[in-house]
Amino acid sequence: MTTVRPDFAIEQNWQAYSEEEHAIWRLLFERQQRLLVGRACREYLDGLRGLGVAADGIPDFRGLSDILDRSTGWQIVAVPGLVPDDVFFAHLARRRFPSTCFIRRRDQLDYIQEPDVFHDICGHVPLLMNPVFADYLQAYGEGGLKALGLGHLQRLARLYWYTVEFGLIATEEGLRIYGSGILSSAGESVYCLDDPRPRRLRFDLRRIMRTRYRIDDFQQLYFVIHDFEELFEATRPDFAPIYREVAALPDLEPTARLDQDREFALGSPNGGSRKKNWAAHQRGPSLGRKRLEDVRQDHNR
Ligand SMILES: [Fe+2]
């Protein structure tokens, strides 16, 4: 029987994975690698290579943690699934990334409701090899603990959603993906860059904190950063006065349009230019790190 420690850490029990589970990893990994060339940001692809995450099968977290620890001081902690917010933030603040161990079934290749090991390891962990992103995620964890105390968790969760899960980055070659919810989704990794329907706005901390998000479909709105330093700098100030300022303004739907919005048009400089080939992959929404409340809402629908 699995022992769950007070911080929800468990043993990954790598040797217990079946051939079928490794085969599902291979399918998912190979499909994403084909799609992500020219779509994922360079830092992500470098991280994946540096970690040695590959098609062979579900990685052993111990090996990944050794490499991560030497590179940026992060480790992976196996957890049984979604963990309470305070536990999640406390891990991040200590440079420990909580990862689920189970992998989706073969009939769930395109969508499952909760994060699985493919989403967590292939989507999230490679960017932790980047020193600036690694610092950002730790700062986010520290900010999460403060937000819990201040009662503004929802606003901080939106920042996670629109950056860590669904963020885009502008490069000289065009827009690229760094959000793990997109990187682990075949459909959304094409849709987010190629489809004319979603809007792609310049990163704006306050606007993000006001903007709701959808968990049951592709995003209608993405926010674009210039570089990871921008992200880290955005989390540097004390958020308490920003929360108060944002709380005085109405929340926004993802479809809302504001005069201040700075939009990246497809085909514009740093906006990318691609043919519309996403339809073949339009099979299901992508997977973010849903918070426990989100999952409960889903169940109540
Ligand atoms: Fe996630």
Q: Over the chain (301 residues), what is each successive 10-residue block's mean pLDDT?
A: 85 97 97 96 97 96 98 97 94 98 94 91 98 96 94 94 97 96 95 96 97 93 97 91 96 96 74 40 42 36 28
Write out the residues surrounding ion ligand 1, Cβ under 5 A. Answer: 180, 289
Q: Residue 96: enclosing H or E segment and its boundaries?
A: strand 96-100
263 CA from centroid of ligand 1 (Å): 25
44 CA from centroid of ligand 1 (Å): 15
138 CA from centroid of ligand 1 (Å): 15
181 CA from centroid of ligand 1 (Å): 6
Three-class DSSP category at 125: helix
Q: pTM of this prediction?
A: 0.89
- pLDDT for residue 110: 87
- pLDDT for residue 6: 86
259 CA from centroid of ligand 1 (Å): 31
- pLDDT for residue 277: 35
- pLDDT for residue 1: 61
138 to each of 145, 154, 220, how far by Cα in Å?
A: 11, 18, 28
Q: Where are the beta strands (DSSP E) in 199-286?
A: 199-202, 221-225
70 CA from centroid of ligand 1 (Å): 23
185 CA from centroid of ligand 1 (Å): 11
- pLDDT for residue 112: 82
Q: pLDDT of 251-277, one tens digit each?
A: 999 999 999 999 987 765 455 444 333
In what side-by-side order are the strands of the sheet with 174-177? 174-177, 168-171, 221-225, 199-202
Whole-angstrom distance, CA of residue 139 vs CA of residue 92? 8
């589970």: which residue's tokens?
21
Task: Rounding to the nearest 10 degrees, give the CA dihedral for residues 281, 178, 152, 214.
Answer: -10
- pLDDT for residue 216: 86
Q: Residue 259: enclosing H or E segment and its boundaries?
A: none
